[in-house]
Amino acid sequence: MLFQVEMTVKLPPEMPAEQAAQIKAKEKAYAQELQRAGKWRHLWRVAGSYANVSIFDVENNAELQEIVSNLPLFPYMEIGVKPLCRHPSSIREDDA
């Protein structure tokens, strides 16, 4: 199943820079691991904000919930999820 996930990060202003850097490094490693595994298919930065739009390819809602809730930045995110399905006019056969 494909899902569009919009994530906006809102770190507390009082968070020490070192702690923020550690969380961001863990987040990057986890995100890249999921991309290599084919679960996180696309990842785009939203220009001018600390946000992204992503496409996840997972088995079901529960798998998406597990992945997203394990993001190190999850406690500091506002998240919106939209399920996707292939458009009948799409020429891409790999968009299941």
Give the position of tokens 């597990």. 66
Q: What is the pLDDT along the chain (96 residues), one digit of tens a residue?
A: 999 999 999 999 999 999 999 999 999 999 999 999 999 999 999 999 999 999 999 999 999 999 999 999 999 999 999 999 888 898 887 766
pLDDT given for residue 19 in this prediction:
98
Residue 54 · residue 4 · CB < 8 Å: yes
pLDDT given for residue 95 in this prediction:
66
> Given 3.30.70.1060, 1.10.3720.10, 3.10.129.10, 3.40.50.970, which CATH number is that of 2-84?
3.30.70.1060
pLDDT given for residue 14 in this prediction:
98
pLDDT given for residue 24 in this prediction:
98
What ranges do the domains of the chain cover? 2-84
pLDDT given for residue 96 in this prediction:
63
Q: Give the global pTM.
A: 0.91
Strand extents, DSSP E, 1-96? 2-9, 40-45, 51-57, 77-84
